[in-house]
Structure 1
């Protein structure tokens, strides 16, 4: 194991006391094991390692493990640049090797395989756990006549645990696939191929990746749609895609006359990649077959055997469950997004006004929420504008939002009254005939005056104030007309306020998700919005709205956002 600095041939340092509790934990492992600190010095070693390597604990503790143990196949000191354990140690990632050599206390050379993984040491900085297995000289990696062996049980369980943890911690299909790829190459194979069955029962070669050292390289030219799955084909990939069984394959498997288009594609895959040994397993969920996982070895001279299939099947099964969950989640999001798009209105075309709106769901919600906007034409020719926020960001909030918006439209159309009176009527009704518990909103009217200019009148029920930006980039908040929010049961008079919308001016109505964020005060959010909106006033309205969202909405925002922008063009 390499240290952070070269300490000489033996890396001599004062002996380090074993980390408290670590030695006892190592004894329970049942195989040779030791732990090194962040500099590669041994801080704990179990009795199995002492017996295997013929060294007392005192010979390990405080010593640089790489300098103490690592040798090449001829017994010479192994250069640090060629040590895979050292490279993985400094990268802070798990790794393994089945063809290494350690020097024992009597100077003899012991062929070993090893596994390392980051290890949290109580009371110290993070260390690294090293598990060592003594192998027979015939258990070599890459020598003629090599004898393959199944992965040790401890290592297999560690890989399966890592697979489960990594794949179930995301609900994004693409991210799940990439995590699957990173788990199996280069640990188990040089190449990984993932074929997925789409919702239309079509096969799509979703990933073809190979490892160049520790770098994963995608091969887009080998990806894409695949021919249909033949119902009776005995070929390995066809059987896996039908969920029949896992199997081994090689170039010779597909040299015979192809029985289907998939067989032709498999022959092309083997020719293009140089894979000479492959293991193919179905990717299943509890309900259906989702695809197939192919692991291939090109440079690795050790062939897959039937002993490898149970592990690959386990990995594929876990991948299937994770992919199925991710697909279900994405379907739910799509349904919710469609629902939200239908709940939020299309903006009307109004002569002399430009309008655009945006809605962004809460990052952790189901693509729907209680934030909303609306714009519609009234019987007297005025244009009604509204933006509001029903408490919550889930389906219940979205349903309440739809009730509130529809009631507002009905009251505004039926009663030719000031905005304050319409909102007062709405507030009186929502506690009795809706499921809304609490909400904020702004309701406004834009109408043309006798002199041809546009005038805004509005009332505010506990909502963040509208922002008015002049053509010259002067921005100020419209703080008048403010009253309490809806649903409190308190009846207080609501007031109206008015403002002139000069040619070239932009009115911005928004919900609090735009300006609020964890760790940022409301005043900071309002200042940030005014500054950016003023700087963007010259942009076309759609660009203005998109840039305001991009610049102002905080990355730690956990609320949905509705935004309605209205502009009076110059010359209107």
Structure 2
């Protein structure tokens, strides 16, 4: 980590350095003022300058020179316009000053660069082109699929695009946009699932400037044959990349994969293809196939080398995405197993929802509960343990179990039960702070339902009448759990009219970046009132859909209860 930090200014993440290192030639990133933020090792070698001599310095003043080594005025700098307009540009010849006093002739490309925290800069990719070898008389120079600078730029863009998402489908969409039609008319990705099944996950065709997804060619594939000598089977076993074409599959197929690959060539009209394995550090994840049908030029070994470089980056991205998804699945499964099943209460309907945070590391502290008490009443609870990780989820389980024990063993009002819980919190749990509402509901003599509750620093319950009048129950509001302040807790009581809906929720429902909690509470009240006529399950689903902000990074627990109509 120290070596990584030494090649960037403080605050620039290690991911930026890794992305620069993957480019394979000189590359550095500058901020809006043109100061160098990060460099890769290749830049240090080409310019004969250490990272310490580069990072933090103005790139133009330090490096840019005229063809005779003279200092170059900013007005004559060819990088100046794309740098200030935020566009992409390139040049075949320019000059950089090296640390040993020599002058380096370079080709360069500049393009906008987005950091993970939302800030932006400019990426400069450069290399020192070697003189082209003289062709023998009477021979044609070999055709290059992509100029070297464009090849390096494509790899840089592939790295930044694919490593900035942890969603497999999004990574494949970005891959398709990068290589079609720049490299091929067709792109196909076959992935090996965690059950060792092969799935054709992406088939796209370049139609002009558009990328057309051919879902009719996607889907399950036959298993990988360990004996097949066909290119796709070999790639899915991790063997080196291969140039191929429809003629390879004209003979008798040696596997089901060969049958499907021949069908692909027949349907698409591909006359030349390049296939490379997609690997992680632990396993083969799949294979990527590039095909040309409209472009008459066949693929060359140079194209194959480029495809291998791209496939390595795809493997890194997919491996990270799968690890993330595995972590997220474990966290969500743990959280859902910790949340209880709702009891059956005559004449009362209840619906609960738990919505996980978008980030797996944010799963944790939000919870709900409902259970019958010894006297026949029903306890309701919703809460939020401070923190957003698996430790918060474990703390949530401790609080819920303690609350159940206290509520069942003592015939006391909600305020006294929560006070006892608060007293024990710091001594027998790992929870530092938490908010919660604890309530009990029971029928009264005239056929209505009486709710009594106490609120420990939690957003207030919302009560919605059958005809859509929505009000917050703001009484009984006291300090949160774990503060250490020995203040008395209070109870509040309300009568729930026939056909009314009570909503208990955590703050993830009403929080939205750039908006106050009051705005979130008003949004919940208005949508709750508008949905009052819906049956309880659709009411709960629609309330989540309408109220929770898509930009919110917190999880949500919600408990909705409806009394019988009179």
Unmatched tracts of structure 2, length 5 or more: 1-32, 36-45, 48-63, 79-84, 92-106, 114-120
Name the counterpart of 1:461: 456
Counterpart residue number, 1:303: 298
Structure 1 partner of 2:481: 486
Check conservation: 1:146, 1:302, Cα contact below 8 A. Answer: no
Distance between the aligned counterparts of 2:533 and 2:303, measured in 1?
64
Query: Would the aligned equivalents of 1:459 and 1:496 in 2 still touch at CA under 8 Å?
Result: yes
Q: Deviations over 1:520-566 (max 9, x none)?
A: 22222222221221121111111211222222222332322211111
CA distance in 2, matches of 1:286, 1:119: 30
The Cα shift of 1:151 comes to: 3.8
Tell me the secondary structure at the aligned position of residue 366 of structure 1: helix
TM-score (norm 1): 0.76
**Corresponding residue number in structure 2 for 1:169:** 164
Could you tell me which of 178, 181, 190 is aligned with 2:185?
190
1:516, CA displacement in angstroms? 2.4
**Are 2:401 and 1:422 equivalent residues in the alignment?**
no
Q: 1:363 aligns with which of 358, 363, 370?
A: 358
Q: Pick from 426, 449, 469 the counterpart of residue 474 of structure 1.
A: 469
C-alpha distance in 1 between matches for 2:475 and 2:294: 74
C-alpha distance in 2 between matches for 1:137 and 1:182: 36
Aligned to 2:286: 291
Matched length: 480
Aligned residue in 2 for 1:211: 206
The within-5 A match list for 1:3-402 is 118=111, 147-149=142-144, 151-366=146-361, 368-402=363-397
Q: Tell which deviates more after alignment, 528-537 or 152-161.
A: 152-161
Residue 501 of structure 2 aligns with which residue?
506
Q: 1:471 to 1:93 in 2, by over 3 A?
A: farther
| Deviation of 1:127 (Å) | 13
Distance 2:272 2:86 in 1: 30
CA distance in 1, matches of 2:86, 2:486: 64
Match for 2:519 among 524, 528, 532? 524
Q: Does residue 407 of the first structure (1) align with residue 402 of the second (2)?
A: yes
Superposition deviation, residue 177 in structure 1: 1.1
- Residues in 2 aligned to 1:379 and 1:119: alpha-carbon distance in whole angstroms: 66
Q: Which runs of 5+ in 1 are unaligned?
A: 1-18, 22-28, 31-44, 49-56, 64-89, 97-113, 139-143
2:331, 2:360 within 8 Å by CA — same for their partners in 1?
Answer: no
User: What is the aligned-residue RMSD (CA, Å)?
Assistant: 3.6
C-alpha change, 1:20 and 1:402, in structure 2 (3 Å) is closer
1:210 alignment partner, SS class: strand
Verify the 8 A CA contact 1:340 1:367 in the aligned structure 2. Answer: no
* Distance (Å, rounded) in 2 between the aligned partners of 1:442 and 1:91: 51
Structure 2: distance between partners of 1:430 and 1:539 = 39
Which secondary structure does the structure 2 equivalent of 1:403 belong to?
Answer: helix
CA–CA distance in 2 between the matches of 1:129 and 1:316? 21
Aligned to 2:397, the other structure's residue is in SS state helix
Q: Output the CA distance in 2 between the equivalents of 1:463 and 1:404.
A: 15
